[in-house]
Amino acid sequence: MSKLIRVAKNWIVQIANPAQSLRSIRGYARFFADWRRYTRLPDAERIRLLDTYPQVHDQTGTSDVDAHYFFVNGWAMRRVVATAPRFHVDVASQTIFANLLGAVLPVAFVDYRPLRVEMAGLQSIGGNLLALPFRDQSIASLSCLHVIEHVGLGRYGDPLDPAGTLKAMAELTRVLAPGANLFLATPVGSPRLCFNAHRLHAPEAICEMARGLELVEFSGIDDQGRYLERIDMSSLQESEYACGLYWFRRPV
């Protein structure tokens, strides 16, 4: 029954979120109460209806984070900076990661949907993860965070391809130079396809796809959203929706 509820939620939230709607009703009650109280404060500005901009979801006890992306970006940022490459290539990770890393060292951001912005230290390149615009073994530092699981599912307008993840790993491996680092993150756990959102692979399966590369480190984020550093990947084998953090290196 819990799986049926989860599937129903996955379908419904694309057009409506009942739980959020209920919270919104309570939030609007607070909004109007605050509006009334604010207008009675000394020197309060006039509140015009045309200028109102209700924010009804921010009164929480803690700051919410998406555990996967919060820890994935922090994990990769720390390791890329520590290895101090002269130039780094990121393939389709969160744009905030590429932008912040670009403040530390030159970054080329490659995405099927290229960025239409300009920022010092950040170069945007339109490209397909299945045909990266780089020569064989030419990239000294590379990252691809929470991306390969989407390839071939059409979610982002890319062509449908059941072998998308496997081909993406082969392409990342192709461009990695001898001695170079690849920082990779992808959901792991009980293998399955959650069309058209993502695939999940067994943790060991990603290593099998990274032919010719050495595993320097495996860390992860478990089903409870806890960051686990340098763990045995078998500990995430039976997970519902964990995240594997892989640091690969091509031998010299």
Q: Find all residues with CB under 8 Å of 33, minimum gap 6, and list them.
A: none
Nearest alpha-carbon partner for 172 in 129, 217, 128: 129
SS3 231: coil
Beta carbons of 161 and 149 less than 8 angstroms apart: no
Residue with tokens 């919410």: 64
Checking 16-25 for CB contacts under 8 A at 24+ apart, the result is 20/57, 23/56, 23/57, 24/56, 24/57
Beta carbons of 250 and 177 less than 8 angstroms apart: yes
Question: CA-to-CA distance for 222 and 226, rounded, in angstroms?
Answer: 6
Q: Where are the alpha helices (DSSP H) in 90-157?
A: 95-102
The residue ranges of every structural domain in the chain are 2-51, 67-249
Q: Which CATH architecture has domain 67-249?
A: 3-Layer(aba) Sandwich (3.40)
SS3 13: coil
pLDDT band at 35 (very low <50, low <70, confident <90, very high): very high
171-224 pLDDT, tens digit each: 999 999 999 999 999 999 999 999 999 999 999 999 999 999 999 999 999 999
Q: Find all residues with CB under 8 Å of 248, minimum gap 6, and list them.
A: 176, 181, 182, 183, 184, 210, 213, 214, 215, 216
Of 14 and 120, which is predicted with more confidence? 120
Nearest alpha-carbon partner for 199 in 246, 149, 247: 149
- Lowest model confidence (mean pLDDT) among 73-77, 112-116, 124-128: 112-116
pLDDT of 43 higher than 90: yes
pLDDT score at 1: 57
Say how many C-beta atoms besides its own lie within 10 A of residue 8's C-beta: 10
Nearest alpha-carbon partner for 229 in 122, 104, 75, 86: 75
Beta carbons of 93 and 143 less than 8 angstroms apart: yes
80-116 pLDDT, tens digit each: 999 999 999 999 999 999 999 999 999 999 999 889 9
